[in-house]
Structure 1
Amino acid sequence: MEASDELMGVDVNKEAKMNGVVVLVKKSVLLDVNDFQAALSDGVHELVGKRVSFQLISAVNADPENAMRGRLSQAVYLEKWIKTGTSAVVVGESVFKLTFEWDADVGVPGAFIIKNFHNSEFYLKSLTLNEVPGTGKIHFVCDSWIYPAHRYKYNRIFFANQSYLPCHTPEPLCKYREEELVNLRGNGSGELKEWDRVYDYALYNDLGDPDKGTDHARPVLGGSTKFPYPRRGRTSRPPTKKDPESESRLPLLSLDIYVPSDERLSHRKMSDILAYLLKSIVQVLDPELKALGDKTLNEFDTFQDVLNIYEGGLQLPSGLLDKIKDIVPYEILKELLHLDGEKLYGYPMPQVINENKFAWRTDEEFGREMLAGVNPVSISLLKEFPPCSKLDPKAYGNQRSSITKEDIEKNLNGLTVNEALRKNKIFILDHHDTLMPYLNRINSTKTKTYASRTLLLLKSDGTLTPLAIELSLSHPKGEGYGAINKVFTPAAHGVEGSVWQLAKAYAIVNDSGVHQLISHWLNTHLVIEPFVIATNRQLSVLHPIHKLLHPHFRDTMNINAISRLVLINAGGTLENTVFLTKFSMEFTSVIYKEWVFTEQALPEDLIKRGIAVPDSSQPHGLHLLIEDYPYAVDGLEIWSAIKTWVHEYCSFYYPKDDLIRGDVELQSWWAELRDVGHGDKKDEPWWPKMQTLVELTETCTTIIWIASALHAAVNFGQYPYGGYLPNRPTISRSFMPERGTPEYAELESNPDGAFLKTITSQFQSLLNISIIEILSKHSPDELYLGQRDTPDWTSDTVILAAFARFGEKLVKIENRIEEMNNNKLLKNRVGPVNVPYTLLYPNTSNHTHVGGLTGLTARGVPNSTGI
């Protein structure tokens, strides 16, 4: 018997009453004078009364005169708006009580209509109906901004927290379900305003600003074979004057970039983003200020100069602070830039140097961070020697590696190269093929860098140690003549040791750029946004898959929009702190050509990189070739927990594959995701067909993995490891010194000074630290994997029980991680820097439903890609 049939048999007293509780948050009056005026006007209007109305919609009785939509109850209004709730100082929840008369013609409600006749919006969190005759409690999870009614051309409708497949939806709710999706899709045209709820697609054509000149122009990404790209949310701004294909940009500090109203960041998180924007103002608002910084805030002379950023005592140059204060008031600067007078009084101490200031320089830590650092997703097994290239030899000539057996066999612990390959002992961090096509253009800027290959040996104690680093440049006669390679091998003392430290720095510069642009931006933020859009356009909030995935999309569209505004735009912060400079976003488009959705699943990724092989005898069906690989070990535990939860969830609603094939919303969602959201890859054969429970489970598991655990692994370690720039330099400004040159002589006489002069400058360091400090923080209102913002998120008790088991499994994973981090035999868990690997520590056990540790904790897996 379907749910709608069960509801039809209710026998109740016609004079019964239903008590309701409404929870909402009134519009904040702290940030906008107009908001205060609107709130004052709302108070005056409330004296008249009847400013917020609720009408229940029947889930059991249809109205033949209204196209068989559910019958409507009489309107009930909120009372005591002025007396109920919060002051203008503290933003918090207001709780109102409602009483509905039982109407047999309406019967059991399944939805409600709300109308706001105030002049300002409010945030509706929930409505709970208690003592519904014959049913008991009905809960409506809303979590939506309700703008004044005149802003909408349709009724705002919310459904009860019961999930239905389209074919199982009670008939009185079907039209409402269909119409709500139509409203969310919009009509594809017109200017979008903040109160609009339209989810639509656009190309990445708003990164450049051609009206400012050719230096600020950037190619349109997406919609072409040359520059394929996922789609972003449509913002509907007019085109630029010089290029009709490019969308005009907003002023730098404007946060009025359109996203659907329910995708906006919370006030708390937005304040953090505002702090970042004000920090970055030093670099982007005033060219004269930037020029001043280039002249005076340029070099660190010693490592102690770098440490002064955290320990206090870095003196700002005379005149710089006055110039900054012309733009931003000193009181704001004092908080945001960590100022004490004209000194930087100390950024938070990065974990990588918290206990030992120089352990980061060891070869062991260099190798360990490829397994347990901020970019543990790039290392792979070396399958042939010397390393080969997949670049077209007609275009790029001979790109084969110049590393010889003699270079590395001296450090293979008695093995020959062939023996080491056969025993799966040699691994590679390969940034050669991806960067070589860009080297000439990159090196035409102030950046001076190489394409790199790094070979490492897996030792008997489970750690990795570098064998050789190859640094490559394009042939001076042209790219078609191949590469010019230089090979460097480990050395501990003298100028050779200094050269080796520089070689590692160049390799890390490559890895830092690939991490930020590919591992972080492309493979989490960028690829997940089309899923957010398609889910809201094609899956009703009543749909179980919408309810499953929705928490994993929180804040993604808004944070991506802000990134386009100030981070990844032409001349923005990223172009000034990553070695690929103005080619950064174009580079991500080229790499996206090779992106395969199914390979984003952790097991598939590990197999592709040669880190794991299928093994049915193992708990996760894989045998890791590097057994002490913290990212993979913890990741597989979390992947397995997510997949078990998703399977239990999906199999409850889809006991037969026929239901998947016949689900019109699900099939429309998947078709639009492939054909539009990732439309430049719509013809790829690897897309799942979405015909079976296995395909649905694997797909949803992969989506959740990308948005939660993968993002956590490559994001929240940025400040702990990269907040100390010598450990993770992002730019190199000169080439390796050649023997007989003044630069080589300086390397001999002052190795630390030469090292610091080569990597990221002082000014760039301060800018970079400011960015990643914000990116690495957990928000106070963070929701972690295994948490929901309300225990009443669904009325299906079977699903709630499965979700509880998911949370229990995550707690066991937390305990297991703690045990492994305390195991001295697992040397990659902590390493020479004594930083335990907790980036995939779920953080579920701290709070059952909401929140957890906040700040720079380097632990916790948030539900979504929200920062």
Structure 2
Amino acid sequence: MSVKETQNRVKMVSYKVTVSTAIPAYATTLNNVFIKLVGTDGESDRSWLCNLSGPLAFTAGKVSTFTVLCPVSIGKPILIELDKKPLLLFREDSWFPDKVEVECPDGDTYNFPIYRWITDSEVHRFREGTALRVFEDIHHLGRYSRELELNQREKDYSWDVYSEGMPHNMKVEGPLSLPCEVRFSFTKTTEFGFTALAGIAELGLKGLSGSESSWTNMDDLNRVFCNKRTDISEYVQEHWKEDAFFGYQYLNGVNPMLIQRCTALPKNLPVTDDMLFLHGQRSLADEMKKGNIFLLDYKRLDGLTANIVNGKQQYLMAPLVLLQKTPDDTLMPIAIQLKQTPADDNPIFLPTDSEYDWLTAKLFVRSADFSEHQLNVHLLRTHLLAEVFAVSLLRNVPMVHPLYKLLIPHTRYTLQINFLARLALISETGVFTKFASSGGEAMGTILKRSLSSMTYSSLCMPEDIAERGMEEVPNYYYRDDGLKLWDIIQRFVEGVLTFYYKSDEEVEKDTELQKWISDIFEHGFLSQKSTGIPQRFTSVAELVKFVTMVIFTCSAQHSAVNTGQYDYGGWMPNTPISLQLPPPTTKGTTSEATMLNTLPDVSTTVQGMSTVWLLSKPSSDFVTLGQFPEGHFSEVIPWELMKDFQGELEVLSAAIEVRNRKLDIPYTYLDPAKMENSVAI
């Protein structure tokens, strides 16, 4: 090097660049990596990132430091440009960097979150981590980068219509056509595939998966069930016939959303005091006044044509059920009408009826609950809505926006799991379509009815509990844990959003925020004003409430209605996927034999058991609520709020664990320590 070159080099401004590569499998690149620093006063040349580690500088989990020289100061860094090129004779590979940190000559360090795959040789731009709303992003290069990002996102995340009357979804041809950053990890892909194949294979080896025979005795069913058990599924097998357990499930099973306090008897349920109360001990009117009567109404299932499974007509009822809270705070079923319209051939079944009349009536209710739960409570109200929230976020909100930073953890794996659900569960050849009594033609009708009757308030737990009159019901652990979780999430969301939005006016003028909610209203709720979903945000409080609902739906609510599926559905008679005989039209005509012939056949049972086992089993790389492995925020206040959030969740988790030690059936589905951060299974 000449003296002149040495002098020029001494005059150069030096920037320390630290690059962190992610830990996951295949995150490593052996390509040459280049960077350009862009600041408020200028930019560096495109520089090759090279140090003593050579091609190993960007291996998985590696943190490598480099020096980038500039003739003059670039000012405050606002973005970086990254690209990579394969070495001679080497192939182009994929790279997953976590973040880049740039230390300026004055000692200030700037963070550039990445957390995405770079799979090509194109230039990729990433913003400095300080959150910026669109109206405060004033530098022309920053605005240009923002525009380029959203233009590309609109192409990558396109809306599609899977079925009329359902929320819209992301247009995707297959998992490999999804953008890399939203696909399953290698770990998730491997474990999910193994679990799916193992369940069917295990039962297939026993010669069961293809059998269309009916069950001839409960012992045969028990031998299938014994392959996979949980503590709760064993409890269910032992107690499924009991009225007290039947009632308990509507508080703390997988569908705690249907039950409501009954203040006036439905006109289409002609129950009398003489039916329910011997010797005039009580009256229904008095019991309703005391708040002791509850209703289950499966009206969304009324008038549907049930599926044909294995060539045989199946049956699906739309029951009305009354339950009564006893003096010892037990919830007991006291009347079941299996069809919505009263008639001579639609008897009201009572606990005083014969053993198998009453048990068969409960079977039809539990089978109806399977369909109501899977299609409305689980698929629509968590999976499909979570996809709408995610696609709208990815289309309309850039990485530098505070809303993106807040919500991106709650979109993890959702787009791929929903694609797989459409492919393997509700497509023409899907398990649900082929084997559930509400599969096929009925499925679309149920989803349309469910969406048309959905309200914003029913998605907000405090309002939903109040509207259903369930504030004071004892032993309702879904409510107790859920309301505490809602409050914890709301405090966190309020803290973050009020840090960025100081006035209602700032919310109103954030065009990216408004486009996000506008897309949700249009594509998620099909522009139905009756839902009460806001079409735009007019205040900080309104924004906080909606974002709280989104996070609660994607984490807590999904956990509540998904995690226990095998616990309560693994023992098939407790939650039959379908029923093969019509309900009795007169009392006194049932027996154990007719009950066994009513249950789904062997192959249908096997398919149902394997599916709920798969849907209840998270992968080992799941991320619990409150954990933020990706550092999208750069400011101090959001990180302090995250720590407070985590602390509150830990306190709640400990309280739930203490309570559960005293319970015969522990309620763990809303324990933050056991809850996934997103709809990922």
**Superposition TM-score, scaled by structure 1 size:** 0.71
| Inter-CA distance 768–440: structure 2 relative to 1 (3 Å threshold) | closer
Provide the residue aligned with 1:757 in structure 2: 597
Q: Could you tell me which residue of structure 1 aligns to residue 169 of structure 2?
A: 232
Shift of 1:257: 5.6
Counterpart selection for 1:422 from 289, 313, 324: 289
Instruction: Work out which of the residue numbers 793, 811, 826 in structure 1 matches 2:632.
Output: 793
Q: Does residue 771 of the first structure (1) align with residue 611 of the second (2)?
A: yes
Contact map agreement 1:18 1:130 (CA 8 A) in 2: yes
- For the residues of structure 1 that align with 2:627 and 2:605, how far apart are their CA atoms? 36
Structure with greater helix percent:
2
Cα deviation, 1:557-613, whole Å, max 9, x if unaligned, reads 1111111111110131112332212121342122211122343100121122222xx
Whether the 8 Å contact between 1:23 and 1:127 is mirrored in structure 2 is: yes
Determine if the alignment matches structure 1 residue 705 to structure 2 residue 552: yes
Does the 8 A contact of 2:233 with 2:570 survive in 1?
Answer: no
Q: Is the 8 A contact 1:162 1:795 kept in 2?
A: yes
1:61 pairs with 2:59: no
For residues 98 and 416 of structure 2, what CA distance do their matches in structure 1 show?
23
Identify unmatched segments of 5+ residues in structure 1. Answer: 1-11, 30-38, 63-70, 87-91, 187-197, 205-220, 223-227, 238-254, 284-288, 312-345, 389-399, 476-481, 612-623, 824-829, 844-859
Give the partner amino acid of 1:865.
Answer: V
Is 1:20 matched up with 2:18? yes
The answer for the alignment partner of 1:865 in structure 2 is 679
Alignment of 1:174-189 (within 5 A): 174-186=143-155
Q: How big is the shift at 1:277?
A: 5.0
2:7 alignment partner in structure 1: none
The answer for the alignment partner of 1:261 in structure 2 is 180
| SS of 2:657 mapped into structure 1 | helix
| Cα-to-partner distance string for 1:323-374 (whole Å, 9 max, x where unaligned) | xxxxxxxxxxxxxxxxxxxxxxx2x213334357422221111111110111
- Deviations along 1:395-452, one digit per CA (max 9) or x if unpaired, are xxxxx1233332223399x431111111111001111x21112147779962123221
Asked if residue 468 in structure 1 is aligned to residue 282 in structure 2, the reply is no
Which residue is equivalent to 1:405? 273
**Corresponding pairs, count:** 662
Distance in structure 2 (CA, Å) of the matches to 1:516 and 1:26: 33
Distance 1:797 1:281, change over 3 A: same
> Is structure 2 residue 408 aligned with structure 1 residue 550?
yes
Structure 2 letter corresponding to 1:74: R
Assess, with a 3 A threshold, how the Cα gap between structure 1 residues 420 and 555 changes in structure 2: closer, same or farther. same
Aligned to 1:839: 669
Contact 2:306 2:437 in 1 (8 A): no
Q: Which residue of structure 2 lines up, in the alignment, with residue 138 of structure 1?
A: 110
Distance 1:483 1:513 in 2: 26
Equivalent residue letter for 2:347: K
* Contact preservation (8 Å) 1:657, 1:692: yes
- The gaps in structure 2 that reach 5 residues or longer are 1-9
1:75 corresponds to which of 37, 47, 51: 47
Instruction: Confirm whether residue 687 of structure 1 aligns to residue 546 of structure 2.
Output: no
Q: Quote the residue 1:167 is aligned against.
A: 135
After superposition, the C-alpha distances for 1:481-533 in whole angstroms (9 at most, x for unaligned) are x8952211114xxx811221111111000001110111000001112212111
Which runs of structure 2 are paired with 1:532-543 in the superposition (5 Å)?
A: 532-543=390-401
For 1:558, what is the secondary structure of its paired residue? Answer: helix
The answer (yes or no) to whether the contact 1:442–1:580 under 8 Å persists in 2 is no
- Residues 1:358 and 2:238 aligned together: yes
Aligned counterparts of 1:736 and 1:125: Cα–Cα separation in 2:
59
The aligned runs of 1:655-670 (5 Å cut-off) are: 655-670=502-517
Distance in 2 separating the partners of 1:74 and 1:357: 66
Task: Give 1:486's aligned residue.
Answer: 347
- How far apart are residue 474 of structure 1 and its match? 7.2
**Which of residues 760, 778, 781 is equivalent to 2:621?**
781
- Compared CA separation, residues 780 and 121, structure 1 to 2 (3 A): same
Look up the equivalent residue of 1:764 and give its one-letter code. Answer: T
1:216-615 map, 5 Å: 221-222=163-164, 228-235=165-172, 256=175, 258-275=177-194, 278=197, 296=211, 298-311=213-226, 346=227, 348-354=228-234, 357-385=237-265, 387-388=266-267, 400-410=268-278, 414-431=281-298, 433-439=299-305, 446-472=313-339, 484-491=345-352, 496-583=354-441, 584-611=443-470
Measure how far apart 1:657 and its partner are. Answer: 1.1
Looking at structure 1, the residues matched to 340 and 539 of structure 2 have their Cα atoms a distance apart, in angstroms, of 49
C-alpha distance in 2 between matches for 1:439 and 1:304: 32
Deviation readout 1:261-313 (Å, 9 max, x if unpaired): 21111111112332355468879xxxxx99x96874633333322222243xx
CA distance in 2 between partners of 1:558 and 1:473 (Å) = 38
Using a 3 Å threshold, how does the CA distance of structure 1 residues 115 and 19 change in structure 2: closer, same or farther? closer
Higher mean alpha-carbon deviation, 521-530 vs 354-363, is at: 354-363
The 1:692/1:424 distance shift into structure 2, 3 A limit, reads same
Aligned-partner SS, 2:115: strand
**Which one of the candidate residues 152, 158, 181 is aligned to 1:200?**
158
1:825-859 Cα distance to aligned partner (Å, 9 max, x none): xxxxx3xxx3200100000xxxxxxxxxxxxxxxx
Q: Could you tell me the percent identity over the aligned residues?
A: 24
| Deviation larger for 514-523 or 93-102 | 93-102
- CA deviation after TM superposition for structure 1 residue 73, in Å: 3.9
The alpha carbon displacement at 1:813 in A equals: 0.9
Paired residue secondary structure (2:580): coil
- CA gap 1:700/1:300 in 2 versus in 1, 3 angstroms: same
Does the alignment pair 1:99 with 2:67?
A: yes
How far the C-alpha of 1:651 sits from its partner, in A, is 0.7
Aligned mates of 1:355, 1:445 — CA distance in 2: 32
- Quote the residue 1:815 is aligned against: 654
Aligned partner letter, 2:282: L
Determine the C-alpha separation between the residues in 2 that align with 1:456 and 1:727: 18
SS at match of 2:346: strand
Q: Deviations over 1:666-722 (max 9, x none)?
A: 122222322344334268655264010110000100111111100000000001111
After superposition, the C-alpha distances for 1:600-629 in whole angstroms (9 at most, x for unaligned) are 100121122222xxxxxxxxxxxx131321
Taking structure 2 as the reference length, what is the TM-score of the superposition?
0.90
**Cα deviations across residues 80-100 of structure 1 (Å, max 9, x unaligned)?**
5654576xxxxx534444322
Which structure is higher in RCO with an 8 Å CA cutoff and minimum separation 6?
2
Distance 1:460 1:110, change over 3 A: farther
Query: Structure 1 pair 675/737, CA: closer, same or farther in 2 (3 Å)?
Result: closer
Counterpart CA distance in 1 for 2:392 and 2:448 is: 21
Between the aligned partners of 2:199 and 2:54, the Cα distance in structure 1 is 41
Q: 1:463 to 1:140 in 2, by over 3 A?
A: farther
Deviation at 1:537, TM superposition (A): 1.4
User: d(CA) in 2 for partners of 1:596 and 1:135?
Assistant: 52
Aligned partners of 2:270 and 2:124: how far apart in 1?
Answer: 66
Contact 1:20 1:100 in 2 (8 A): no
SS in 2 for 1:610: coil
Q: 1:125 and 2:97 equivalent?
A: yes
* Matches of 1:517 and 1:265, distance apart in 2: 24
Q: Does structure 1 conserve the Cα–Cα contact (< 8 Å) formed by 2:345 and 2:585?
A: no
**CA RMSD of superposed structures (Å):** 3.0
Task: Tell whether the 8 Å contact from 2:13 to 2:72 is kept in structure 1 after alignment.
Answer: no
Maintained 8 Å contact 1:351/1:721: no
CA distance in 2, matches of 1:755, 1:102: 81
Q: CA deviation at 1:664?
A: 1.9
| 2:80 is the alignment partner of 1:112 | yes
In the alignment, the residues of structure 1 paired with residue 536 and residue 564 of structure 2 have an alpha-carbon distance, to the nearest angstrom, of: 36
The separation in 2 between residues aligned to 1:716 and 1:512, in whole angstroms, is 15
